[in-house]
Amino acid sequence: MITPEAVLQVLRQVKYPGYSRDIVSFGLVKDVQVDGSAVGVLIELTSPNPEVGEQIADAARLTLRDQIPGLSDAHVQVKVPTPQQTAGTPGGPLVKNKLPHIRRIIAVASGKGGVGKSTCSVNLACALRHLGARVGLMDGDIYGPSIPLMMGLQERPQVTDDEQLVPPYAHGVRLMSMGFLVGDDQPLIWRGPMIQRTIQQFIHQVAWGELDYLLVDLPPGTGDAQLSLCQIVPLDGGVIITTPQQASIGVVRKGMAMFEKVNVPILGIVENMSYFLAPDGTRLEIFGHGGGAAEAGRKGVPFLGEIPLLTGVREGGDRGIPAVVSDPTGPAGRAFLAIAETLRAKLG
């Protein structure tokens, strides 16, 4: 006998186009009906792209017919929203100014860990503030939040009468992170839907106030946090952080492809740990050099600049005083400020 549970199990084999996750785990299968040997499935997409809907419907029908013995009919209905009903979703158009109090939202991403993405996020946020902008920084790394440490703040957010979280300030930047809400040694063992709800809360239930820029420090990779952000927020663009060596560049291409799939413009690539300045002024290219610029040229996106590998940058992150704040005229401070100037000119 065919059961709704068996149908759902089979539909877990149907992947969302361009992603490794299936339509069931994404929460797109809204209803399953079984009438004898006939099956009816309702799928509701968040993307207004009809081609995606057709691909999913065809794949679902084929999989059901192949995997369920005795099936006489598989009726798959796919509901696709209009472009006005969605913003920044997979395959859909990017609708700007969905949050009228935030002028620009920028995601800072990397294809892999260990490239200094959070270091770049806090310094770019402080650099934009140094240039006179009103800036917020949201820590999108729910499992491993590092923004509280790097910004030198461990303050629990206040809650307003209408249940809005009040983001604390550090170095003139408004902050929100899961690190403010849980203890340092408390692990989060969450599935995708809980991550999505948290990101939604950080965007819509935080009293950000009037901002010129909201930077979002994403976790490495192309998983739930990135997809949830693109489904919830009308991003104005993404900045990709890499290091010079080929191992990092190869993974960066996946991060760039993720932004392309969800129609988020790539604002440019930053090469972190680009070179080391010895005390005598000698420039040492420990991890090689030029990989970020070469990849930017290959993909036809802007190369935003090089960040030197300096002890002061690491120490600043450990002490909660970013390099742009502690030494804005130093090599790293100047590099971050130059990148912030470029982003400001690009975005207005």
SS3 track for 43-62: EECCCCCHHHHHHHHHHHHH
Which pLDDT value is given to residue 192?
A: 53
Domain boundary at 30, 60, 85, which?
Answer: 85
Do residue 113 and residue 184 come from a single domain?
A: yes
My answer on whether 192 and 58 are in the same domain is no
How many domains does one find in the chain? 2
State residue 150's pLDDT score.
Answer: 94
- Its pTM stands at 0.70
CATH number of the domain within which 108 lies: 3.40.50.300
The one-digit pLDDT tens for each residue of the chain (348 residues) are: 899 999 999 999 998 876 667 888 777 899 999 999 999 999 988 766 677 888 899 999 999 999 999 999 999 999 887 544 444 343 333 333 357 789 999 999 887 778 889 999 999 999 999 999 999 999 987 777 889 999 999 888 888 888 888 999 999 999 999 888 876 555 555 555 566 677 778 888 899 999 999 999 988 766 656 766 666 777 888 999 998 877 677 777 777 877 877 778 889 999 999 888 788 878 888 877 778 888 888 888 899 999 998 888 988 889 999 999 999 999 999 999 999 999 999 887
- Closest residue by Cα to residue 247 from 144, 117, 118, 115: 115
Q: Can you give the residue range of the structural domain that contains 28?
A: 4-85
Q: Are residues 41 and 157 in the same domain?
A: no
- Reading the block at residue 142, the tokens are 């729910």
Which residues are 240's β-sheet partners? 109, 269
Residue 191: which residues within 8 A CB-CB, separation 6 or more?
none
Strands 173-176 and 102-109 come out as unpaired
* In a domain? residue 24: yes
Q: Burial of 208 by CB count in 10 Å (0-12 exposed, 13-18 middle, 19+ buried)?
A: buried
Whether residue 209 is found in the same domain as residue 303: yes
| Other beta carbons less than 10 A from residue 300's beta carbon | 7
Say yes or no: 68 and 212 in one domain.
Answer: no
Q: Is 90 among the domain residues?
A: no
Please check whether residues 331 and 191 belong to one and the same domain: yes
197 and 337, same structural domain?
A: yes
Q: Does residue 81 belong to any structural domain of this protein?
A: yes
What pLDDT sits at residue 295? Answer: 85
Does any domain span residue 124? yes
